[in-house]
A and B are shown apart, each in its own frame.
Chain A
Amino acid sequence: MRLLGRIRERGRDRVFVLGLDGTPHSYLREEVAAGRLPNLAALFQEGSLVPLRSSLPSVSSTAWTTFFTGRDPGGHGVFGFMDCKPDSHDFRFPNYQDVRVPTIWDVVGRSGRRSVVLNVPGTYPAQPMEGVLVSGFVAPSIERAVHPPELLARLRRLGYRIDLDAWAARGAFEALEADLFTTFERRVDTVRMLLTEERWDLFIAVVTETDRLYHFLWNAMAAGEGRAVDLFHRFHAAIDRFVGWLVDALPSGTRLVSMSDHGFTAERMDVFTNAWLRERGYLAFDVDEPKGMGRISPASTAYSLDPGRFYVNRAGGRPRGSVPSDRADAVVEQLAGDLAELRDPDTGELVYGQVVRRDDAYHGPYAAHGPDLVLTLKPGYELKGATAARAVFGPPAAGLGGMHTLEDAHLFVAGRALREGPYELQDLAPTIVELLGIEPQGFQGDSVLDGSRRRASPAPQPAGVGPR
């Protein structure tokens, strides 16, 4: 009861958000029940641990932007790691400059308070804000990942790493193990430094090492392979020790929130959506082995981007677009019907979970830029947008074995009862500002706190087609 006891002392309102990228609610529950996470178990006794629903799609760039804006992708404009440029089908990589709506730390700053934001994906390049920000994935360099710039020298002294070396770690157990712990230890050292040296009201620290471990070794762990299981136990024990230290170190009056941006599960089979579109006659390229979407044939009626985003190849801004606006709805309906028949080639079973139309999934000024359809599949079937793939189904790529899930992210809020669920990722921003005593206005999500000053309204639920 040590954290709750100090909360009751009612010092200044502060919130610390611990982000554990990809850590599922179900996995946390299982590990706590097995007695392997004693500090988290004690913490979870002091509040509410609930399952959380991710964004659509549930990739980190989209999910974390949903978290820190309190809006769905139609409200913030980040639909995935890549998009086609507005004047061609060449890829571009959406980044923090795309986000033109207020973030949690903007709202906190406007109220005269200060934030520390460490390693939140989707925040590169760093921009001025009231406090400190160190960008997370996919920041290609540390130099433009830090605000204020004076912080850079302090990070370098700690040997801070934005991310582990994923190519070196993929398929190389010892390299993964070493990099995983080193990157985490230096991130923890940075949390310790910022916690004591910076003035803050809101502190957000994200651990992305969890997501990397899961991408590479979830299948092995789930299959009971000894060294993978052992590494999972040891790495989560390190997180648990950090939580134990954190609970003792936080100033009185601090509310601790733990959350993840999506869940994780075993990856049984990859499903290549552009190969499926080619097989069905929706998509063609002007080259045999396309890299990216730049050489899409103008005869194409649809294309797909990671993961499970389907776009009608509309005529208009892109020279290789060809479908007139009055035919677009017919293409969408045909696609939705065909996707509903997607079957496992081995078992013949239908594999899809939902096909969600744009108007049902996205709300806000950027909704028109979203995909016409978003496909989700049953757990175990991983959607891939690779353009060069010719086979629709295949095993996970070498070194990879784990996939995101839309459901089963986690949320924990210390010391507060929560309203009835469901709980959505976009609900966290209004929740956090309310914990800081700020009126949660201007968000699409609703505070999850019981008795919230802003009465929760039912979040729009994606309306799919076919079986759920």
Chain B
Amino acid sequence: MTIDHTPSEPEPEDRLADDEDVYSPSEEDEVAARLEALGYLG
């Protein structure tokens, strides 16, 4: 089955409100570290 990411395009605010738990705090640190290694964040 194919998942349609947007049956009807969501309001941008809805999108931002429901995805805060994608990364755990330790995963956020890992993501930040990987970005810093390539010169982002800093």
Contact = CB atoms under 8 A, between A and B. Distances in A.
A388 B41 CA distance: 10
A127 B3 contact: yes
Contacts of A93: 23, 28, 31-32
Given A167-B37, A397-B39, A110 B15 contact: no
Given A138-B31, A386-B41, A388-B42, A86 B17 contact: yes
Say which size band chain A's interface belongs to: 35 or more
- Contact residues of A: prevailing secondary structure: loop
Interface residues of B, number: 32
Given A86-B16, A98-B19, A369-B12, A128 B3 contact: yes
B40 A106 contact: no
Contacts of B12: 77, 365-366, 368-369
Contacts of B15: 77, 98, 100
A28 B42 CA distance: 31
B36 to A, nearest CB: 8
A100 B10 contact: yes
B4 A106 contact: yes
A163 interface: yes
Contacts of B19: 95, 97-98
A295 interface: no
A101 B5 contact: yes
Nearest to B30: A140
Given A101-B5, A106-B3, A141-B27, A215 B38 contact: yes
Interface in B1-17: 1-6, 9-13, 15-17
Nearest to A389: B42
10 contacts: A59-B40, A81-B40, A82-B40, A91-B41, A100-B9, A140-B31, A166-B34, A170-B37, A369-B12, A385-B42
Interface of A: 59, 77, 81-82, 85-86, 91-93, 95, 97-103, 106, 109-110, 125, 127-130, 137-138, 140-141, 163, 166-167, 170, 212, 215, 306-307, 365-366, 368-369, 382, 384-386, 388-389, 396-397, 400
